[in-house]
Amino acid sequence: MITLLGSATWHNGHVDGVIRDIRRPVPDDGLLSGAILRMGDPGAGPVVAMSIEGRIFPRKAPVHLHKSDSFRMALGEPIRVGGTSYAHGEFRLQQADAFYGPEYWTDEVGTNQLLLMADRRGLKPYLTDAQLQRLADTALADDVSLEGVAMLPRDADVPHAIVNSFGAALRPNHVDAGFTDTTGWSMLCDGSRLAAVALGHRESGVLLLCWDRPPGAAALPAFRLGTDLVRLVVEGSCRIGEPDGPDGSADGPDSRTSRFTGRPSGVELGRLGFRLQQEGTWHGESRPGPSGSKELWIVADRRAWPPVGAAGPAEGPLAETGAEVAALTSRLATAA
């Protein structure tokens, strides 16, 4: 189940938003402006934070490690980790139990990233400096967003692994990739390109699906998934229909127009627009906009993939992802 740190009005199992710079006036359009959320397993599922705001980290976050695999992606302006700068849409996969950093922030850019911890119990940073560690521990103790989360101790065994479908190797404890160059991703039958990543627990960890869908690509049919889903438009746009019934309830997948009003249903998600979808609920039919769409999907538990459609197993590009995910799963057993 997806649990948000802030309040939101859910509709048929989903809520929509746009990651906006909250230092500027936010329009009263009912959309979330970024989100901090827990998803998946209630004890050890992922936690996701995606925001653009004033700097909330020190100017230089020191070298540290987490007891969880993690994923971070720059939003809008670049972010810098160690000696690497990541532009919008570029991301870093960081192996659990491995030191990295430092991270650098400025007042001008602030905090602008999507950060995912595959296991929320690994949020606590472990530093190399004892005094800085005490300061970090104090800050964590006062963080209300971590209430009820039992952090993993430094000596905990973390059975995590990171594998991907596009051939990138850990170097030595992280992978750099992104939406800026998708030529090495798998080509699907409709001309879309797909990159799949498995991280976190070797059996029940997170699945990331990175889509590069061209203009005019066939619609992805409505589907239902047995785990929570976050869907973010990195570039371009995407229209998602609403599976609504006459009373506003989700009674099954619907077309691009409402059966009861004849008007277009659903929402158009532009750059940095996102949808949060609760497990077991219908996700409407979707298609890329006039300039295509590059999207990141975060699947809380990869064992729930692939989804099911109205008439049974998903077809088309959604079905093709099943082969990619099966290949990742087979490699996890031997991953370092």
Residues whose CB is less than 8 angstroms from the CB of residue 168 and which lie 6 or more positions away in sequence, other chains included: 175, 176, 177
The whole model's pTM is what? Answer: 0.92
Q: Say whether pLDDT at 76 is over 70.
A: yes
Q: How far apart are CA 224 and CA 35, in angstroms?
A: 23
Q: Would you mind telling me the total number of residues written for the chain in this entry?
A: 336
- Decide: 274 and 230 in contact? Cβ < 8 Å: yes
Radius of gyration of the chain (CA): 19
Overall average pLDDT of the 60-71 stretch: 95
Query: pLDDT tier at 74 (50, 70, 90 boundaries)?
Result: very high
Query: pLDDT tier at 256 (50, 70, 90 boundaries)?
Result: very low
pLDDT of residue 95: 97
The class of domain 3-155 in CATH terms is mainly beta
* CATH number for the segment(s) 164-332: 2.60.120.10
Q: How far apart are CA 266 and CA 287, in angstroms?
A: 11
Whether residue 125 is preceded by a cis peptide bond, meaning omega within 30 degrees of 0, is no
Tokens for 35? Answer: 């989100």
pLDDT digit string, tens, across residues 124-170: 999 999 998 998 888 887 776 777 888 999 999 999 999 999 999 98
User: Which candidate, 296, 190, 307, 291, places its Cα nearest to that of 253?
Assistant: 307
Distance from the Cα of residue 5 to its chain's centroid? 16
Cα dihedral 15/18/24/30 (nearest 10): -30
- Does 3-155 match 164-332 in CATH topology? yes
Overall average pLDDT of the 196-221 stretch: 96
Domain locations in the chain? 3-155, 164-332
Query: pLDDT tier at 107 (50, 70, 90 boundaries)?
Result: confident
pLDDT of residue 243: 66
Q: How far apart are CA 266 and CA 241, in angstroms?
A: 4
Query: pLDDT tier at 226 (50, 70, 90 boundaries)?
Result: very high
pLDDT of residue 214: 97
pLDDT of residue 36: 94
pLDDT digit string, tens, across residues 310-332: 888 888 899 999 999 999 998 98
Q: How far apart are CA 299 and CA 205, in angstroms?
A: 9
